[in-house]
Structures are given as structure tokens and as C-alpha cells.
Amino acid sequence: MCGRFAVTTDPALLAQKIKAIDEVTTTAGAAAPNYNVAPTTSIATVVTRHSEPDDEPTRRVRSMRWGLVPPWVKPGPDGAPQAKGPMLINARADKITTSPAFRSSAKSKRCLIPMDGYYEWRVNDPKAGQKSRKTPFYMYRSDGEPLFMAGLWSVWKSADDAPPLLSCTIITTDAPEELGEIHDRMPLVVPERDWDRWLDPDAPADEDLLARTPDVHGICMREVSMLVNNVRNNGPQLLDPVESQPEQMKLL
């Protein structure tokens, strides 16, 4: 799964780097670095959309709430989406085209979710169950470049004339190699060569990408402090390696 990540790249700089239209800064202002992104946080995503039905779609950086809200969710008394069941922060790659919660988005509302890296927790004693101590690790690219994860997004409105709520979920897949020793699931990394095909609103979801074993070449991981366990902690110190531990490694 993916329940926490870090992102420090300004959306305007990201848009410039990937040749996209910046829709975040123009609507919400510059985003501050966030070293402990948690569900319900507004995050920058990458989409490709039409301005007019028959024009060439363009790549855009767009702000969305992390935790997908399907269009059919009913509003509560306060006008917000009714929270029933688990929050849809993740979607299994092998279920997105069949799950009622995700299949509509999988058809034409696919996105990329950029991040510096993500956190995962290793269960140290599986026999202890929920009482087992868990050790946090941080996964990131060795070259310092962002990771771009596959995602889905949706538009929700409390009423026809209400402003839209854009929300998203991160697609996960089986974690290979050493990453699987930390947790059996991981976000689905999309290589740059597959961005256009994944984002294309006029094409179906890339089944090969969804089924493919992710390429983790160049992804590093290191044990980090328990500070990340509390969402109120937020700063670059969360990325610091825990001293005197040998488990920092690079996946080759």
C-alpha cells in the first residue's frame, strides 16, 4: 500500500520540467514542501485533458484531494461526501477496471502522482500480529528525481451547481525484490516512456503496464525515524537515515 509520502517540488517548477500547464499555482498559490503527506491532503497530480472535445489534449498539473470520492457518493448534511467504508487512498492494479469504485475513472480519468519518495512500514514480528513493532522506511530514487506513480481521479459534486471536488487514488501493485521484504505492496511506478499512453483520455487503461512487474532499478530505501508515524511531524528531518543501521541499500 501507500499511506504516506514526501513531495518538495513546487508545482510550477514541476509543470515547467514536464512541459505541462500549471493549474495549481494559478488557483491555490505555491505549495510548500510536504515531508509527511497524509490522506485528505491536497496534492499535485498530472493529467492530460481536452479543452474542447476535438482539440489535442494537453498535459496539466492539477491539485486534487488524496482519497478518491466516486461520483455516486451522496453528500452528508454538511454538504461533504458521506464517509462510509475505508478511504480510497489506494487501488489495486488488478482491480481498477472491474471495481465499481474505480472502473469509471480507469476508462478516461487516469493520472500521475509525483513524489520525492514514499514511506512504508516493516512488521518486525509477523507472529505478534497488530501488536508487532513496525519500522518505517523511506523509498526514493538514487538520482534525486521524482517518482511518478500511477493514479486515478474523479470529479464529485454535492449538487449540480456546486463547485467540483477533484480527488485521486494511488494504484498499487506487488512489490518485487527487496522492497517486498518491507511490504508486499508498493505504488505502481510509471516510467517516462509510458506517461503519454497512461494519461491519454481517449485510450483505455494500459493493461500491460498494470500487470507488469515494476522496474525498481535505481530505487533506494533507508530506515527512518519513528517521527514519521505522527502526521503532525513534518520537516526534512523525517528523511534522515537512522544512525548505525546497516539496512540502507540500493536495488540493482
Marked catalytic residue, from 2, 23, 111, 168? 2
Residue 181, CA distances (Å) to 50, 64, 123, 133 in order = 42, 31, 9, 15
Give the active site residue among 23, 111, 120, 168. 120
Q: Is 2 annotated as catalytic?
A: yes
Is residue 111 annotated as part of the catalytic site, yes or no? no
Active site residues: 2, 120
